[in-house]
Structure 1
Amino acid sequence: MRLAIRHETLYRYTSPLAYTIQQLRLTPRIESHQQMVTWNIETSGQRNAFADAYGNLCHMLTITGTHDEVRIVVSGEIEVMPLFLGRLLENGTLSPLVYTVTTRLTEPSDTIRAFAAQNLRGNGSKDLLHLAKSICGAVEYQSGATGVTTTANDALLLGQGVCQDHAHLFIACCHTRNIPARYVSGYINSGSTGHAESHAWVDVWVDEDDFKGWVSIDVTHAGFASDAHCRLAVARDYDSAAPVSGVRRGGGEESLDVRVNVTLLPQ
């Protein structure tokens, strides 16, 4: 598929800022099944490109001088090839064991351990898809029910959440078995599902008779990720894969408006 993507992030403030610094993970990863045709980032201030510890393409944005809003717009076209059973062709430069380390958002609680014991039968692809379906049944997709600080345990207890919560809970369950699993942020051509086009899912390490490596699973849709998904960043959780994160000096109260549009282009 060729996807046309436009993602606008607008921060507004009730009083002027003197300084803003933001880390942007808004450039699609270069992988064998995913290639950038065009990609552009529009911001004020100064941007410096770098790669983070997980190999994501990032920019450090700094804005100095008085300002009362920060507007970030990324847009472009991405060519994405289908993935057979969600299998990624690259294993990456980091050991998969890096992704067995728990975080505040993915720490397994006793409740999660009990849930995983019941729903995670093994580390094969079919077992992991069963876990994804179980998570969808336990945590109903509900926009606005949770926030970026919601933990996997919070979402499970609430019984509601969004794709980010589904991914965190999946990873937390994998941690109970020491199965490497990582958070993926990106975009999806969501079609008529009604789900947001800014999306999160997981990669999980499998060791099967005919494949050893990362398999990409869209937990929210209880299926393998494929050519409808554009990958921005991988990391241990949302905090380390967030599209935009940073600090500011001044500004008073902050409001945030995010608009994402993903369109399937004709071949």
Structure 2
Amino acid sequence: MQLWIRHETTYTYTAQQAYSIQQLHLTPRLESHQHALSWQLSAAGQLHAYTDAYGNLSHMLTLNAPHTALTIVAAGTVETTAPQGGRVASGDALSPLAYTVPTALTAVTPPIAALAARCIPQPSPLPCTADAMRLAEGIAAAVRYQSGSTAVGTTAGAALDLGTGVCQDHAHILVACCHALGWPARYVSGYIDPGNSGHAASHAWVDVWTDDGADVGWVSVDVTHARLMTDAYCRLAVGRDYDSAAPVRGVRRGAGGESMAATVQVTQQ
């Protein structure tokens, strides 16, 4: 499948800013099941490309000039193939044990531990794919998708208590449930061809380290749709949570407030 993607992010400030710095995860990862046929990243300021600790293709954007707005555009065409059984090639320098470390956004609360235990009453040292899907289905049933019901700083525990959330919350809760069971799991940011689902084209899901006998490694699970990853997905970054895999994240030097608007288009070519 070929996906045409355009992602525009605009920050608008109420006062002039002297300096902005943004960490960008806006370039598709180099993975066997996806290949960027064309991709361009544009913004005012200087872009420095690097690969971060998680193997993500990243950029540091610095704008060292007076400005009252900042627009970042990433666009291109990505060719994807459906990974068999949702399994994505590892090829990572990091051990999967690096993804058992809790974060503030994925901390295990008593309700999260209870949800994990209900879904997986007799856990194995590592899950099989069916275990990961049971968790995903349990989370999707417990936390109804509702756009705008949470924010980027909402923790897994808070979203579960609220009972509503978005794909980011679903992903954080699955990571936290895996941690409660002692299983490696990592957050994935990227895009999805939304079709008629009504869910945002900018998306988040989870890789779970599974043992299916002949196959051991990462299986990519979309909690929001309660399914394995298909060729309708484009992966931007992996990390321990949203903070380490966010498409755009940064700071500025200047007074006043700010607003952010993002538009994402994903269509099949």
Report the TM-score range of the alignment, normalised by the length of the smaller protein: over 0.9
Q: CA–CA distance in 2 between the matches of 1:192 and 1:52? A: 34
Kindly state the Cα deviation for residue 91 of structure 1 after the two structures are TM-superposed: 4.0
8 Å Cα contact 1:187/1:197 also seen in 2: yes
| 1:153-211, Cα deviation, whole Å (9 max, x unpaired) | 00000000000000000000000111000000000001000000000000000112121
Match among 249, 254, 260 for residue 253 of structure 2: 249
| 1:12-59, Cα deviation, whole Å (9 max, x unpaired) | 011100000111110000111110100001100001001111010111
| Structure 1 residue 235 corresponds to structure 2 residue 264 | no
Q: CA–CA distance in 1 between the matches of 2:51 and 2:214? A: 32
2:186 aligns with 182
1:216 aligns with 220
8 Å Cα contact 1:91/1:214 also seen in 2: no
Q: CA–CA distance in 2 between the matches of 1:100 and 1:226? A: 25
> Per the alignment, in what secondary structure is the counterpart of residue 65 of structure 1?
coil
Alpha-carbon RMSD across the aligned residues, in angstroms, is 0.8
Letter in 2 for 1:47: L
Moved over 6 A (4+): none
1:26 aligns with 26
Unaligned stretches of 5+ residues in structure 1: none
Equivalent residues in 2 for 1:115-154, closer than 5 Å: 115-121=115-121, 122=123, 123-154=127-158
Q: CA–CA distance in 2 between the matches of 1:61 and 1:91? A: 27
1:166 aligns with 170
2:89 aligns with 89
8 Å Cα contact 1:20/1:63 also seen in 2: yes
Q: CA–CA distance in 2 between the matches of 1:184 and 1:237? A: 8
8 Å Cα contact 1:5/1:263 also seen in 2: yes
Q: CA–CA distance in 1 between the matches of 2:120 and 2:239? A: 22
8 Å Cα contact 1:44/1:63 also seen in 2: yes
Kindly state the Cα deviation for residue 90 of structure 1 after the two structures are TM-superposed: 2.6
Letter in 1 for 2:53: A
> Per the alignment, in what secondary structure is the counterpart of residue 16 of structure 1?
strand
Q: CA–CA distance in 1 between the matches of 2:137 and 2:258? A: 37
TM-score by length of 2: 0.97
| Structure 1 residue 199 corresponds to structure 2 residue 203 | yes
Q: CA–CA distance in 2 between the matches of 1:49 and 1:213? A: 28
Provide the identity percentage.
56
1:46 aligns with 46
| Structure 1 residue 105 corresponds to structure 2 residue 94 | no
Segment of structure 1 superposing worse, 5-14 or 84-93: 84-93
8 Å Cα contact 2:186/2:241 also seen in 1: yes
Q: CA–CA distance in 1 between the matches of 2:98 and 2:47? A: 29
Kindly state the Cα deviation for residue 226 of structure 1 after the two structures are TM-superposed: 1.4
Kindly state the Cα deviation for residue 89 of structure 1 after the two structures are TM-superposed: 2.2
8 Å Cα contact 2:129/2:211 also seen in 1: no
Paired residues in the alignment total 265
2:36 aligns with 36
Equivalent residues in 2 for 1:69-88, closer than 5 Å: 69-88=69-88
Q: CA–CA distance in 2 between the matches of 1:209 and 1:31? A: 23
8 Å Cα contact 1:6/1:260 also seen in 2: yes
Kindly state the Cα deviation for residue 127 of structure 1 after the two structures are TM-superposed: 1.4
